[in-house]
Amino acid sequence: MSADLVRVRSGVYHDSVSLMGVSRALAALPGVEAAVVAMATELNLGLARDLGFDLPPADPSGLLIAVRAGDAGTLDAAEAELERQFAALANRRTGGEAAVSPPRTTRAALAGVEGAAVALVSVPGEHAFAEALDAVEAGVSVMVFSDNVSIEQEIRLKDRAAAVGALVMGPDCGTAAVGGVGLGFANVLRPGEVGLVAASGTGAQQVATLLDHAGAGVSHILGVGGRDLSAEVRGRSTVRALRALDADPATSLIVLISKPPAPEAADLVLDTVRGLATPVVPALLGPDGHDLTSAAEAVLNALEMPIPDWPSWIARESGEMTAHGPGWAGGALHGLYAGGTLCAEAEALAGEGTFTDFGADAYTRGRPHPMIDGTLRLDALAAVPAGDVVLLDVVLGHGADPDPSASLAPAVAQAVRRGIAVVAVVVGTEGDPQGLTRQIHALAGAGASVFISNAHAVRHAVSLTGSAK
C-alpha cells in the first residue's frame, strides 16, 4: 500500500531550479511514485493536490515536500535521500564553511562588492521590480532575468536607470554577455568584434552561435527584454545599449535583433542607428525583415568572411517519404518552442501551422523556463497526432538543461515510431557544456532531422507538410 510524506517547512528557501533537481532525484528512486519539492506557491500546491496529496495550510514562503512511495520502507529511503539533497544544497551555499549573515537587500549586497557594475535579478516576478530598482538606485546596471513584471514597472525602472546613467537589461532578459562573462542562458563564444543588442534571448543566441560556427567572435551581448521595442516601452533600453556599444572600442560592428517591433519603436531606434559611428546590421523579424540566419550572413559579409554551408542531418525516413511525393501529404505542422524569438521566426517563415512558445509568461509562472525543464513540451509532443510534423528547438549553454537530449531523444524516437516527422534546431557551440555534437547525434539517432539554423529547419519542416511554395 502506498505511503505519503507531506510536510511544509517554514523559513527555508531554495531556488526553483535547485528544488527541481531534488524532485527529480527523489522521483528516480525505485518505488517512488510521485515527488513534489517546491516553494508552496498556489501553482505548486495545485500540482501536489492534482497528484492526490492531502496538504496542510501553507503560504508561499514555506517549502512544500510531498512524496509518495510504494511502501513505508521506500518512503524512509526517500526521506533519507531528501535530507542528503538538502545538506548538499546547504553546503553549496556556504562553500562548506559556517554560514554568515547574508545582506538583506540588493543595495547592501552591492555595497560589499568593490567596483560592481552589473546586478542579476532572478526572483519571482512580483518581487523583481523592487530588487532591480534597488540596484539601479545604487547606480548599477541590472539584468532582470525574471519575467511576469508589469509593463508599467518596466517603464518606470528604465526611466530611472536613464536618469542615473545605468542600463536595464530586461525584464525577461534571458541572455547577456558583458566583456566575455555570460549571464543567464549563455553560450560559450569566441571573443571578437561583433556586439549584439537584442530584444530577444534566443535570437541573440542563434545569431551568435552561427557567427561562432563561421569563425567570428562577439564582444558583448546586451539583452534589453522582449517588450523593449513594444509601442509602450519604445526602445528605452535598446537606444542606451546601442549608444554604449557605439562607444566601445572593442566593438566594430553591431547587430540589432528583435521580434517584430512596433512601428513607432522601430522608427525611433532606426533614427538612433543612423546617428551612430559604428555600422549596424538590423535583424528586426517581420514580413519585410531578416530571418536570423540571413542576419548572421549579413554580418559575415560585412566582416568580409566566407559564409559556410550551415550543416544539417536529414533523417533517412523523411528523405524517403519526400522522394516520391509532397512530403507527408498534408500533415499539420506543430512548432513546440522553448525560445520565443525562434518561435516567432518559425511562425513568420512557415506561414501556417500551430506554434507554441513554452517560454511565454503563461507557461513559466511558478515553474522553471522550458530551457531548464522541458516537461510541458514533452507532454505536448506526446499529444501530436500521427502523420503530422513537429518543429522544435534545443538551446544549449550555461544555465540550460545540462543534457536536454537525455529526455528529449527518447520522446523523439517514440514520436517517430508513431509516424510523426520531427525536425529540430540545436542552438549552441562546441564549447557549450552540453556538447553540440553530442546533442545533435543523440537527436539524429532518435530519428529527427537536425539543423543549426532555425530558418533552414523551418523550411525543411514546411517541405514535409507538402505545403512548400
Per-residue pLDDT reduced to its tens digit, 126-171: 889 999 999 999 999 999 988 889 999 999 999 999 999 999 999 9
Per CATH, 3-94 and 312-465 having the same topology is answered: no
Q: What is the pLDDT of residues 439-460, one digit of tens each?
A: 999 999 999 999 999 999 999 9
- How far apart CA 166 and CA 116 sit, in angstroms, is 12
Give the position of cell 500546491.
Answer: 45
249: preceding bond cis by omega (within 30 degrees)? no
What pLDDT sits at residue 327?
43
In CATH terms, the fold of domain 312-465 is Rossmann fold (3.40.50)
397 has a pLDDT exceeding 70: yes
pTM assigned to the model: 0.83
Q: Give me the CATH code for the 3-94 domain, please.
A: 3.30.70
- How far apart CA 448 and CA 315 sit, in angstroms, is 6
Collapsing DSSP states into helix, strand and coil, what is residue 283? strand
Angle at 42 between CA 36 and CA 44, to 5 degrees: 15
Q: To the nearest whole percent, how much of the chain has pLDDT over 90?
A: 66
Q: Over range 160-183, report the average pLDDT.
A: 92
- How far apart CA 330 and CA 351 sit, in angstroms, is 14
Q: What is the pLDDT of residues 402-446, one digit of tens each?
A: 999 999 999 999 999 999 999 999 999 999 999 999 999 999 999
- How far apart CA 115 and CA 118 sit, in angstroms, is 9
What pLDDT sits at residue 40?
87
Q: Where are the beta strands (DSSP E) in 145-186?
A: 168-169, 175-178, 181-184
Q: How confident is the model at residue 320 (pLDDT cuts 50, 70, 90)?
A: very low
- How far apart CA 89 and CA 101 sit, in angstroms, is 17
pLDDT, the chain, mean: 89
- How far apart CA 326 and CA 317 sit, in angstroms, is 14
Q: How is residue 378 written as a grid cell?
A: 514533452
Task: Please report, for the chain, the start and end positions of each structural domain, with discontinuous segments joined by +.
Answer: 3-94, 106-302, 312-465
Q: How confident is the model at residue 468 (pLDDT cuts 50, 70, 90)?
A: low
Q: How confident is the model at residue 122 (pLDDT cuts 50, 70, 90)?
A: confident
Phi, psi (rounded to 5 degrees) for 439: -70, -40
- How far apart CA 84 and CA 172 sit, in angstroms, is 33
Sheet holding 141-144, edge to edge: 118-121, 141-144, 168-169
Torsion angle in degrees (nearest 10) through CA of 325, 331, 333, 336: -120
What pLDDT sits at residue 100?
57
Report the top-level CATH class of 106-302: alpha beta
DSSP letter assigned to residue 62:
S
Give the position of cell 517584430.
Answer: 260
Q: How confident is the model at residue 369 (pLDDT cuts 50, 70, 90)?
A: confident
By 3-state DSSP, what share of the chain in percent is helix, strand and coil, each rounded to 5?
40, 20, 40
Q: Which residue has the higher pLDDT, 141 or 93?
A: 141
